[in-house]
Every structure is written in structure tokens, then in C-alpha cells.
Structure 1
Amino acid sequence: MLRKFGLLPRIITAIILGILIGSISPQWLIKIFSTFNGIFGNFLGFVIPLIIIGFIAPGIAEMGKGAGKMLGITTLIAYGSTITAGLLAFVAGLAFLPSFISGYRLEEMENPEEFLQQPFFQIDMPPLMGVMSALLLSFILGIGMAVIKGDALQQVFVNFRQIIEKLISKVIIPLLPFHIFGIFANMTYGGQVAFILSVFAKVFALIIALHITMLFIQYVTSGAIARKNPLKLLKVMLPAYFTALGTQSSAATIPVTLRQVKQTGVQEKVADFTVPLLATIHLSGSTITLVSCAMGVILLNGQMPDFASIFPFILMLGITMIAAPGVPGGAVMASLGLLESMLGFNQTMLTLMIALYLAQDSFGTATNVTGDGALTVLVNKITKSKKEQALSA
């Protein structure tokens, strides 16, 4: 029954119930919620390095054993699209978000103890290593496995990834609504929730507009290079878009994406290779959401996001998106380490990020999947041109 009740409805229900119960609950009950939040937040901090290693290391290793030039071309195009999406979100965020959030400030984010009720007790769960250590180790292991063709070691990490996927899908994702419920109940009790919801609505509208803009950029670019009508290409890919809205998973939408991409005239062997790969490494919609949400939370914290801090975050996000598993909320889970280490987010800020991201996860996934179609058309044109040049030579 719970599976039929999707993640988005659960998140919305958690926020509504958190506000209602937080407005009438006694202090001792809020402290119980806070105790759960503290334990779950510490567990999340412990798991973050494991998520990074579990997905990035085998992901890089598997990419290294792909089809040579086509792998390189596809990866570069996907990374370029992701970085473009991040920069688009940064420029739009800088233009609109300060006015959206003007007059709103959650000063207590820096010192949440000033307005959030503290737990009855805490359980320390120190992570095995820092986020940057996990990233470096993942790169070393992933590249090393690809170079030496270490099948045995790679299989170990593939199995480890499956364990982390189960942990995310069976433990973390089901418990997130309760975590978000507790945070919103606590913030309501402290009188902070009204303007947060107002900001959420405005940021959400901006994100949807940016998703649409990014899809037009992708299809106009690929259509111009492949000499095809971008609107017709986009129309063909709409079934994949709406399928992803329902599944909230790029991986689960692969069969539909593959079928629609082939209807655009792409070679079958190109589609069969690029679509599953792009479902793993190309998350332009999710990047837009993460960058926009991060800037919104930074502004709520009374700071102004700048290019010097956001651009390195975008560059690393493009790599870290490889770690996003094919489960709802995978992208935000994979990015928590970067938000913490590069942008200095604390647990309250991370929870707000999770809540805002998951509230529109299906739209970000739909943008990712639909963008895969445009990138596949581009890869098909480039590889076809290279083959024609080789034949003519």
C-alpha cells in the first residue's frame, strides 16, 4: 500500500502533518521528533562517504570498459550539458532568487539551537572518512579498475553498490518523510515555517521554468547540428517525459526512452549504447534543481552565493552525478557530501535541501530523461560524420 503511495505525496503529507502537529504539540513531543531527527541525521552523515564510494568507483570503472570513442564523446557531451545546466541555474538564481527571498532570513540556520528544540539524547555516528577522502578514493579505485581491468575487484564494488542501493531505497528514502516531518514540526513550533514555504513555492516555479529552458537549449542545439526539427524531436520524446514523471527514475524509464529515441532516426546501435549510459551520467534537470535549491538555502542563511564558490560546486556536481543511483532522490543523496564540504551546509540546511529537492524530483528526472534524447541525436550525428570521414579518407 505504501509503495502505491508515491514519494512525492509522502513528502507533501509529511510537510503538512509536520506543520499541523508542530502548531499544537507540547514541547516534550517536539523533543521526541528532534531526537529521531538527530539520530537519522547522524546516520545520514555516516552513510554519505559510503554512497560516494559505492557509486562513483564502479561507475568510473564500468565507463572505462565501454566502446572507446563513442564512450568518450557521449561522456563529454553529457558532462558539458550538465555544466551548462548548472551555469544556467546559477545565472537565473542570481537574477531572481535575491528578490524572491528579499526580507526572508533564517538566521537560526547558523545556530539552530536558538529556535529548534534539542533532542533528549544524541548518538554519535562518525563517518569512516571525510567527503573529499571518499571522492579521491573513488576516483583512484575507479580509474585503477578501468586501467588494470580488475574484474574481480570491480565485481566487489558492483556488489557493494547494490548494498548501498538497497540501503537508500529500503531504509533512507522510506524514513526521509519522517525526518522531514520532524524538521517541519520543529520549525513550526519555533515559528519559522511560514516564510520557508513561501520561498519554496517561488524557487519551485523558477526550477520548472529552467527545466523547460534547458530542454529547448538541448533540442535546438542537437536539431541544428543534426539538421532536424527540434520541436518534432521534442514531441517524439514526450512519452519518455511523462513516464519519468511517474517512475521518478531514469533507469526505470530506459525502455520507453530507448523506444522513443529510435523513432527520431538514430542508429539502433548508437541508441542501445548511449541511452543506458546517459541514464546514469546525464542529470541536467537534477543539476538545475540542486544548484537552484542550494542558492536559495544560502540566501535564506543571510549569505550571497558567488561564482567563486558555486562554479567549483557545479564542476564537482557534474562528476558526482555519476553516483546518483536509479532510485527516487538518488541525486540529492549523492550530492549531500559536496553541499556539506564545499558549501558548508549544516544538518538543518541539508534537510531543507532534501525536502525541496524531493518535492519536485519527478520533474527533474523527466528533464534528465528527455534531454537524453537530444544528446543521443547529437552523438549519432557526430559518430556518423566521423565514420563518413574515415570512409572518404
Structure 2
Amino acid sequence: MKTAHVFLNLACSVAAIGLWGCSQKPETAAAAAPASAAASPAGAASGAGAPVTVTTFKALQRDLPVLLKATGTVTALTSVDVKSQVTSVIAKVHIEEGQFVKAGQLLFTLDSRTDEANVAKAKAQLAKDTASLADAQRQLARNKELLAQNFISQGALDTARTGVDALVATLAADQAAIDAAKVALSFDRITAPNAGRAGLVPVSAGSVVQANVTTLVTITQLDPMGVAFSLPQRNLGDALSALKGGGAAVTATLADGGGAFKGRLQFVDNLVDASSGSVKAKAVFDNKENKLWPGAFVEVSQTVSIIKDAVVVPQAALIQGARGTVVYTLEDGKAVSKPVQLLYSQGLDAAVSGIQAGDLVVVDGKQNVRPGVRLVERAAEPKKAASAAAGVPAADASKPAAP
């Protein structure tokens, strides 16, 4: 009886344990399962061999120009502030503001009555001294005859000769006075020192101007026009070589989209700015349509050298890492990592070394690529663009048309 009682208690305990297990909720049972079962090696390996879809670009070999880009300022090659050389009153203004003038064209006329009177006075003095000289020469000739007849002494003849020489010198002085008076008179006619466009005219007839103080107008040459910019010190040698060869080609583009202009490098400064490490330079451009205006900002692009037979790939294919720059290439259907050295970048292109022309470099999708991963090339973008232009959605472009 005692043994039967023990077996009965054991059976009841087993039954109670089974009942507790059956009463658990499914969520609790699932949570109690080991985490390692969910991350089985088979599940992890199920997607390890999935290929990565990418787009590629075939590396090209071509000459790549090295462009130097900088911001420049349009400057006039010649700009002159016209001022009077004498203090006087303006008699007449012969130009209008904004007018294009030629070199030597009359701009202003000053009150010249005083200077004209001085010229007339100098001429009258010359006439008077000329008459005195003629009389002195006659006296000298008469004294020579009297000396020959021993009526006068040699000293009297020498005195007459000295009087003639003095009057000759006086005539020379009179002529110089006339020339000086004419120079002063010429200051009353103000002409253009160079061809160009007249700026603001702040004076009018009757205005008093002070000598070398009052600016009457500014004449600015607009054709040709210069552009001032700065060259990095590392490009100084290339710029000097180009300058010896007639000047490197320079392109200037207006910041407001007003067009591009072709010119040539004309000047490189003889000093490197220690604070910026750059050298001032100037290029000259034809400006027949007057689109380049002094003070305007332009984007300057200059070809300083050319990289011969450069291997060119898109900049988007380059991957910067802690160990340097690499690109992924597609070889035998798999990704291969190749270290490259960036030689020069321009726009969307980059000249590199470390790969060969014709290698397929990964451009889009490289963030999912690892060495040795199988790659699948994506359809070319132009095809998608053509499908969109034809009215076919890009997602459905690869589907066959309905019969």
C-alpha cells in the first residue's frame, strides 16, 4: 500500500508539470526559444552569394587639359581722370555723359581771353625787338664804313656789334615767351587723352575749375578690356612658360550668365603674395560688344598644361578610405579593389593612375560592393531616359509589350 501511494504522488506531479507547460501562451514559448536558433548558420548563408547590381564605366585614355579656375575682376586697361591744368572758368562743354570719344577729341573749352591777350602781347614785343634789331644792324653796317674811312674807332664798331648780338638774343627770348603763352593758351582746350567712354560730367558752362584738382570727366577704355585674377604659386611656372609663348588661352564667364569670352594671358606679377601664396595676373579680352564692364566679377578659366594620355574615370567611381583612394573594377563577373592615385580632377572627370584604359570601374552601387562579390551590370541610364521620353515608365521599360 505504501509503494502504491508513492507511485500515485509521482504520477500526480508529472501530470501537474505537463498541465503547467500546456497552459503557457505561444508568445512566451517563442520568447523562451534560444536566440541562436533564429540565427542559424543556414539562414545567414542563404543570402551570402546574392549578386550586387551596379553600373560601370569603361576607363578612357585621352589628353586632359589642366584648367585653373579663379574669380577675376574686369578692369579697364586705360582709365584717365581728366583735369584742368589751369584755374579758370568753363566756357563750353563739348561732350555728353556716356558718350564714346576718340583720342584728341575736344571735351571742354575754358575762358581763354587772358591767355590770348598774353600771346598777342608776346608777339608785339617780338615785333618791337625785331625792329630794334634791324636798326642796330643798319648802324653796324654804317660803323663798318666809317671805320674803313678812319672816322670812328674800333671800340665804337665793337659796341655796335654787341648791340646787334643783344637784340638777337632778345628776339630768341621773345619767341620763347610766345611759345610759353601758346602753351598756356592750349590748356584752355581740353581734349581726350585716349579713346573710350566718357563717365559722369559734374561740371557745366560757367563752372570754376581749379588746376589739377577738379575732375571734369573720366575716360575709360572699354575695348579691349582686362581681367585681373590670381594664380596659385604652384602654377607660376606654367603661366610664365605660356606667357613666353604668346600668352595662354583664358576664358572669362560673366557671373550673371552674360556669356563667355576668349582672351589671352598678358601679364604676371613679379611678386608672390606671402599671405595667400598667389601671384597677380591679367588677361586681355576683345570687348567689341561692350559686355565686359569695369568692376564686374567673372569666372576665369585658364589652361595651364595638358596631361598626355591620361586614364580618365568619373569622380563618382573613387572611394576615399583610411588607406587611400580605391576603385572597384569588374573582372570575370566579380568585384576587384584596386588602389589608385588621383592625378587631377576636373568637373565630373578624374585622371588617375593604377588602372588601365578599358577597365570597367563601378560607378553606381559601389557602397554595397566588397572584394570578390559577384556583380550584375544595371541597364544603361540613356535607355531609361529614352523610355521616359517615349512615354513609358522607367519601372516598366523592361517589360515586354502586350500583344
TM-score greater than 0.5 by the shorter chain = no
Q: Which has the higher contact order (CA 8 A, sep 6+)?
A: 1
Pair member with larger Rg: 2
TM-score, normalised relative to structure 1: 0.17
TM-score between both structures, scaled by the size of structure 2: 0.17
Looking at secondary structure, tell me which structure has more strand per residue: 2
